[in-house]
Amino acid sequence: MTIVRVALGARSYDVVIEAGLLGQAGERIAPLARGRRVPIVADANVAPYLETLRASLDAAGVPSEAIVIPAGEKSKSWATLEMLTDRLLDLGVERGDHVIALGGGVIGDLVGFATAILKRGCGFVQIPTTLLAQVDSSVGGKTGINARAGKNLIGAFHQPKLVLIDPTVLDTLPPRELRAGYAEVVKYGLIDDAEFFAWCETHGSALLAGDVARREFAIAHSVAAKARIVGEDEFETLGRRALLNLGHTFGHALEAEAGFSDRLLHGEAVAAGCALAFGYSAAHGFCSVEDAVRVSSHWQATGLPDGLAAAGIAAPAETLVEHMRHDKKASGGQIPFLLARGIGRTYLDKQVSLEDVRDYLAMQPR
């Protein structure tokens, strides 16, 4: 078992990582429940895990109520938020209560936001069931829903009170989704931990094939990295937390071009985006070509897209740059890019010219 503390003063909390933890979740949640009924919000995909969780809460003497919402990004909407907050109010949820989010990033983001605004803030517990949610979205308190104008444009920072991660739930995750989540694992190595990237090069394929010990190690390592960065810059104002967006600006353009659909999953877009960020950095002499090649080679070895062609994106460079202009990170017409001086040496560059980016993208094979 690993416990990572997210150190945020009064908002500090633990992330507990252990194979089989779901079956013991009740004991961990009981002190937060204070004998009151605990609502669990889950999507239909995690029905078997919902049963395990409820049995574990029962065994710990914690009554629960399940609220099942449709799986998929469409649930990050005003309509679902309204339905959910009404249900939670009908259940009599109070400020001191805790709502459990059991599922992937959609459930975590939705429940996090609902509890941020319900009675001006009540507690929530994250039990993430996808690799992406386990290593990224369940930790750090970014919550929200999508708007007509774009993804995650409405939301709040609201930290969970506890995060419980059971790596064995990944056994039933579709392999493509597992790989997409793995891109976010590797991202931590690319940002500031060259040794961890080298670990991924050696162990990534075994992890994806089902090795539990390697999964547990990679999740714990990723969560520790995320906790450190969030602890340094909780509200993304100091330039530290922004490093977690490595690959996201290029990736956002690809996702937008794919219509934010299953054609290209978020993690796949991040993988291609990281390869493009390193490729751009190498083309401008900021990092070595060898490092950029290592990134692409690792994506090839693990079945992730390493650029436009592999991501199935054939759009002209100008169209992709146009998508970037609508990126929510744009400020005063300038888009901050995460570039690299090498593996584990990512930095924020606020002066990148979109003309240079367009010229670089125009040269990429399609």
The residues that are catalytic are 120, 142, 184, 226, 236, 241, 245, 248, 252, 266
The smaller minimum CB distance to ligand GLY, of residues 142 and 221, is found at 142
Site for ligand GLY in 229-288 (CB under 6 A): 241, 244
Q: Which of 26, 140, 279, 307 binds ligand GLY (CB under 6 A)?
A: 140
Count Cα neighbours of 116 within 13 Å in the Cβ-side half-sphere: 19
Under 8 Å between Cβ of 179 and 140 = no
Under 8 Å between Cβ of 158 and 112 = yes
3-class state of residue 40 by DSSP: strand
The smaller minimum CB distance to ligand GLY, of residues 15 and 244, is found at 244
Give the dihedral of Cα atoms 112, 137, 148, 40; nearest 10 deg.
Answer: -40
- Least Å distance, CB 90 to ligand GLY, is 31
- Nearest in space to 303 (alpha carbons), one of 209, 212, 188, 217: 209
- CA gap 70, 146 in Å, rounded: 15
Q: Residue 348, Cβ neighbours under 10 Å: how many?
A: 15
Site for ligand GLY in 25-64 (CB under 6 A): none
- CA gap 222, 278 in Å, rounded: 20
The smaller minimum CB distance to ligand GLY, of residues 136 and 257, is found at 136
- Nearest in space to 296 (alpha carbons), one of 143, 212, 186, 152: 186
The smaller minimum CB distance to ligand GLY, of residues 15 and 25, is found at 15
- Least Å distance, CB 244 to ligand GLY, is 4
- Least Å distance, CB 100 to ligand GLY, is 20
Q: Counting contacts by CB under 6 A, is residue 131 touching ligand GLY?
A: no
Pick the piece of the chain touching ligand GLY (CB under 6 A) from 54-62, 76-84, 136-144, 261-269. 136-144
- Least Å distance, CB 229 to ligand GLY, is 8
3-class state of residue 181 by DSSP: helix
Q: Counting contacts by CB under 6 A, is residue 142 touching ligand GLY?
A: yes
- Least Å distance, CB 143 to ligand GLY, is 10
Pick the piece of the chain touching ligand GLY (CB under 6 A) from 42-50, 103-111, 120-128, 135-143. 135-143
Residue 288 burial class via C-beta count within 10 angstroms: exposed 0-12, middle 13-18, buried 19 and up: middle
Residue nearest to ligand GLY (CB): 244
Q: Which residues here bind ligand GLY, judged by CB under 6 A?
A: 136, 140, 142, 241, 244
